[in-house]
Amino acid sequence: MYIAGIDSGSTSTDAIIIDENANIIGRSIVATGIGATQSADKALQIALEDAHLSKDQLTNVVTTGYGRENIGKNTDSVTEITCHAKGAHYLHPETKTIIDIGGQDSKVIRIDEQGNVENFVMNDKCAAGTGRFLDAQARALNMSLEELSKTGLNWKNDITISSMCTMFAESEVISLVADNVAISDIIHGLNKSVASKTASLVHRIKGEPEFIMTGGVAQNAGVVQCLEQALNAKIYVDDSAQLCGAIGAALIGLEEI
């Protein structure tokens, strides 16, 4: 048996293929285009090629994420909260609190020892503290997100970005650049602001170790370090952190069979 999980996010669409033993045998991450269906089809095809399978060999397909309801009529869809809980428990069974920072929202999920959701909180009202926030600042600095992550680790002076609004923060960044403040210090200030916003969500639901961080921003080592400092705890980041939702969807698809 082969099961596919597809996570249709605002920034990326992720796909995972697992076998009947829940082993990951195919994966893909593609940029979400103008249509959820087209992006999902592309992500699934790449994951199938990675697994050396064809679509007709799939036993089940489960979707999650923002665009889940728009991906085909013959697929099951599950909420992203449930899928992230399943995926995080799979990646790190000791997890008690999931910190997921995606392109458009951030959420913190507390789970039990079996990976079931106990409580969660979301920041989905604005881009503050999300991947979009960092993406906007990277553009203002004429850098890629990868460059932003690496450069932010080399800071020397601890500065604070006072505004959490994406547009106001961008203006603040431009002013700091004009004042010849080191780019690495500016980026550290941005990382701290994201970590502060996220830590407040963790405290709202009384999140506790062990922590796992998922979503695309988990690849930003500077944000992870700042968040660890804010929480005074180690945060586990798996190589498949960005695929957590898709993994959870695939695992749910396996359970349905």
Single pTM value for the model: 0.91
User: What pLDDT shows up at residue 74?
Assistant: 59
Average pLDDT, the chain: 91
How far lies 209's CA from each of 39, 120, 215, 235, 239, in Å?
Answer: 35, 15, 18, 8, 19
pLDDT of residue 104: 79
- pLDDT of 203: 96
Bridge partners (DSSP) listed for residue 110: 97, 119
The per-residue pLDDT for 70 is 60
pLDDT of residue 72: 60
Report the pLDDT value the prediction gives residue 162, as an integer from 0 to 100.
81
Residue type at position 139:
R
pLDDT-flagged residues of the chain (< 50)? none
Task: Give the full edge-to-edge strand order of the sheet including 24-31.
Answer: 24-31, 12-19, 2-8, 60-65, 76-77
pLDDT of 158? 93
Q: What is the pLDDT of residues 93-150, one digit of tens each?
A: 999 999 999 877 899 999 999 999 999 999 866 666 788 889 889 999 999 989 999 9
**Residue among 182, 234, 217, 169 at smallest CA distance from 9:** 217
pLDDT of residue 90: 98
